[in-house]
Amino acid sequence: MIAIADTNALYRLLDPRLTGHEEHKEGLAAISHLVISPMVLAELDYLIAARAGARQALTAARFIERYAATRRFEVPAVAAHLSTAIAVAEGYADADGGKGVGLTDAMNVALAAAYGTEVLFTTDRHFRMIRPLTGHKAFRLVPDDL
């Protein structure tokens, strides 16, 4: 199964102290190929550095680097998907009480379309309101929908 990674799922995966850590490990085990947007990497780096420090952020980066080297994880260029992501964000600008959908999440929707998947590695339930661009009825959120 190909899945697109969201920041919160990677964060829970990487910190065994967090609620849901074991479920995220099980979710990752069900995924054969994980696509991680560079935007998600930037969010993850900031989140970990701010909460746990630079060394922990670097440990997380090395973890992702190791799996990318084995091609289990992929960090694709996103420039070709920017127009689609912006269109998704524009289409949901009034969603969630006007909070809308941020560009990082919109990029995850665009990448899901590019990779022909409806599977997102995320705990963000707001993806339930977003329609996949792949023709699927809804996104499958891993680990919740395993």
The Cα diameter of the chain in Å comes to: 42
pLDDT at 63: 96
14-51 pLDDT per residue, tens: 999 999 999 999 999 999 999 999 999 999 999 999 99
Comparing CA positions, the residue from 71, 90, 72, 141 lying closest to residue 112 is 141
pLDDT at 123: 93
Residue 76, preceding peptide bond in cis (omega within 30° of 0) = no
Residue 104: per-residue pLDDT: 97
Residue 98 confidence (pLDDT): 83
For tokens 């967090």, the residue is 18
pLDDT, tens digit (0-9, with 9 covering 90-100), for 89-131: 999 999 888 888 999 999 999 999 999 999 999 999 899 999 9
* Cα 107-126-143 angle, rounded to 5 deg: 85
DSSP 8-class letter at 138: S
Torsion, CA 41, CA 122, CA 135, CA 1, rounded to 10: 80
Give the residue-averaged pLDDT of 49-73. Answer: 97
**What is the residue whose two structure tokens read 């996104």?**
139
The residue count of the chain comes to: 146
Task: Give the angle subtended at the CA of 49 by the CAs of 105 and 63, to the nearest 5°.
Answer: 75
63: closest CA among 53, 73, 54, 51?
A: 73
pLDDT of 97: 84
Distance CA 93, CA 97 (A): 9
Residue 85: predicted pLDDT:
98
| pLDDT for 132 beyond 90 | yes
